[in-house]
Amino acid sequence: MGKVWDTLAPRNLELGPFSAGRKPAAAGAWRHWKLARDDDGIAWLIFDKEGSSANTIDEDVLRELNDALAQITRELPKGVVLRSAKKNGFIAGADIGEFRTMTEAAAVQNRLREGHAVIDRLEQLSVPVVAVIHGYCLGGGLEIALACDYRVAVEDAQLGFPEVLLGLHPGLGGTVRLPRLINPIEAMTMMLTGRNARATRAKSLGLVDAVVAERHVKAAASAAVFGKLKTRRGGKLIELLNSKLGRQLAARRMRAQTGKKAPIEHYPAPHALIDLWEHHGGSAEEMQKAEIASFARLLTSDTSRNLVRVFFLREKLKQLADGQWPGKRVHVIGAGAMGADIAAWCAWHGFHVTLADTNPEALGKAVARAADLYGKIGHRRTATRDALDRLIPDLNGEGVHTADLVIEAVPETLDLKRKIYAAIEPKMAPGAILATNTSSIPLQQLREGLQRPDHLVGLHFFNPVSRMALVELVSHDQVSSGVLAQGRAFLGRIDRLPAPVKSAPGFLVNRALTPYMLEAMVMLNEGGKRETIDAAAQSFGMPMGPIELADQVGLDICLHVAESLKANLDRPMPDVSRVLRDKVELGELGRKTGKGFYVWKKGEAIKEGAAPAPTEEMRDRLILPMLDVCVTCLREGIVEDEDIIDGAMVFATGFAPFRGGPMHYARSRGAENIRRALEVLAQRYGDRFRPDPGWDRLA
């Protein structure tokens, strides 16, 4: 560990002999753990997983931890301090790669019992054990920390149980220990939502006993070992809420709230967690057994396997943004909603940003939007202050001269964009990149007249910028490969996921979403109720129905994209332009005007209570055209592979994550099955459902 070890553990540690637990082993036999004793008789057990940038838990790690605990038990110190040698955090959780190899519930249960035995052994040590937590402490890492007697958090610590995002709940005792340590309602909320608690919040919950600066870690750990650290534990409220009646009352409310966001047929894990606590929370031993059985069932389910797939899709897209780009200054043109949010997001991530617009009022609103955003995502006033200092309103567009990257985010009008490019390109610094946030205009049209078309790239953000992780990185046949690499690296620096796509009408995401939303409007014209149509999509697993989504996006934008795609694609599309145009001409643009297909109040669509239940055919009419476009984009080479399609659609549209992405769902359901269903729909409703020839390649 070298210098990292020196910074994490006190000086003058005496390295003790190591043991493999079965027979004596020479010092250094462990690959992932280091054990040493300081002058006060405290043993420091340091986790530094070999060959990994982050500490994760796997079978080998737990086996070595068991060996280390055996060594500690043979030569008892005054206390034990457990911490990480990784700079990025304590323990990031289980090695999710192992999940993919586990297909039998019985084998999973056996593995979990072995893991429980190790963590129980840690909990049962006869000397005080202190977990020192910095950075991320997630999942199994938090379960290890919960087995310690004390938890000392460094100021940057974040603690949480994200298992629900993988279709799981904690499986190494977290469901047992957390509700007994802190208010069980707060404990269940942490596990049901997967949200992290930062150090100060964790302290207020009683999840950690102290929050200290790194320089005070040794003193805090020693104070805990020698009984000098004041703690706040237990209490009558925790006991009352964990009673049988308390669990029953709380569980009833939890189920109602959880069912609204995570229907049990789509996401069984949170409901299984509620069942665990309600029915077994009165006995730690009984709940531990039930936790193991429940986790094993969930891990081998299709839902969890697909959500694990989505996790690795995210990792694949992240890796595309691993490169280096030294740029420091970004110039954004257009202070509308998208331009303002792009500028604010870039400033938050350390860039000096000039936001250009000829309208002073628009610039003022943009800065106010940024301040509001920073107040929601920031945790320190100084961070908000510094980000606002980096965001500079630019009425005269002077920032273009020094920018390393210029992002154009003006309305979707070809002539307007070309006019702006003609004005700014001569002013741009040599080597600066020109990016467009166009949502549908092919870059082959935008590049006409440019002196350096090889420096033009598409960076298509989605709304809201701060919450939508995906950005389409759009290429064309004249763009430099170096510019594309720099674009990917820039997206990595602002914590966004690049989805490389080739320039074509609508690219991938909008091209796939458009038939989904247009078919919904056809159904409206046929007399369908908007609530039923939206319910059809949501019953498939979409987070929002197409009518509500159209209102969210803006009906003016939907109209523009629909007309653009209809003009540029050689494929039948339903003509609903009149429906959209009527709304646009009335100024009923959706959420942003308070009325579209729905009336909107406080950011929510007002829906009628009773509506006919959707049919299977309605679901297919909405979903299958979206899959068909994905197959078309793959066949045409707009997107390189199925994983990028799945990742883009999940992270940009929320396409039913528990189904693993549209292409994965298509393969699961069967390409021939979907093609036949499309042919039936084409006979009933017209050629817009005619299946793409690309289905032959998937069969």
The CATH code belonging to domain 1-157+208-231 is 3.90.226.10
Q: What is the mean pLDDT of residues 260-267?
A: 93
pLDDT at 459 over 90: yes
pLDDT at 79 over 90: yes
Residue 352 is among the residues annotated as catalytic for this protein: no
pLDDT at 24 over 60: no
Contact (Cβ atoms closer than 8 angstroms) between residue 324 and residue 137: no
Contact (Cβ atoms closer than 8 angstroms) between residue 199 and residue 208: yes
Contact (Cβ atoms closer than 8 angstroms) between residue 688 and residue 506: no
> pLDDT value at position 12?
40
Q: Residue 530: pLDDT band by 50, 70, 90 thresholds? A: very high
Domain residue extents for the chain: 1-157+208-231, 325-495, 509-698
Contact (Cβ atoms closer than 8 angstroms) between residue 644 and residue 500: yes
Q: Is 604 helix (H, G, I), strand (E, B) or coil?
A: strand
325-495: same fold as 1-157+208-231? no
Share of the chain above pLDDT 90, in %: 84
CA separation for the pair 545, 90 (Å, rounded): 40
Burial of 692 from C-beta contacts in 10 A (0-12 / 13-18 / 19+): buried
pLDDT digits (tens, 9 = 90+) for 334-383: 999 999 999 999 999 999 999 999 999 999 999 999 999 999 988 788 99
Instruction: Say which range, 7-11, 77-81, 92-96, 206-210, has the weakest mean pLDDT.
Output: 7-11
> pLDDT value at position 146?
98
Q: What is the mean pLDDT of residues 563-568?
A: 80
CA separation for the pair 231, 242 (Å, rounded): 21
> pLDDT value at position 158?
96
> pLDDT value at position 28?
60
Burial of 684 from C-beta contacts in 10 A (0-12 / 13-18 / 19+): exposed
Could you give the maximum distance between any two Cα atoms of the chain, in Å? 83
pLDDT digits (tens, 9 = 90+) for 290-335: 999 999 999 999 999 999 999 999 999 999 998 889 999 999 999 9
Contact (Cβ atoms closer than 8 angstroms) between residue 19 and residue 70: yes
Contact (Cβ atoms closer than 8 angstroms) between residue 468 and residue 439: no
All residues at 6 or more sequence positions from 502 whose CB lies less than 8 Å from its CB, including other chains: 474, 475, 476, 637, 638, 639
Share of the chain above pLDDT 70, in %: 96
Beta bridge partners of 600: 605
Contact (Cβ atoms closer than 8 angstroms) between residue 461 and residue 338: yes
The CATH code belonging to domain 325-495 is 3.40.50.720
Q: What is the mean pLDDT of residues 244-263?
A: 94
Catalytic one of 32, 134, 460, 476 = 460
> pLDDT value at position 11?
39
The CATH code belonging to domain 509-698 is 1.10.1040.50
pLDDT digits (tens, 9 = 90+) for 370-407: 999 999 988 788 999 999 999 999 999 999 999 999 99
- Strand order from edge to edge, sheet including 89-91: 89-91, 136-138, 158-160, 197-198
Contact (Cβ atoms closer than 8 angstroms) between residue 437 and residue 406: no
> pLDDT value at position 602?
87
**Which residues in 27-43 are b (16+ Cβ under 10 Å) and which e?**
eeebebbbbbbbeeebb
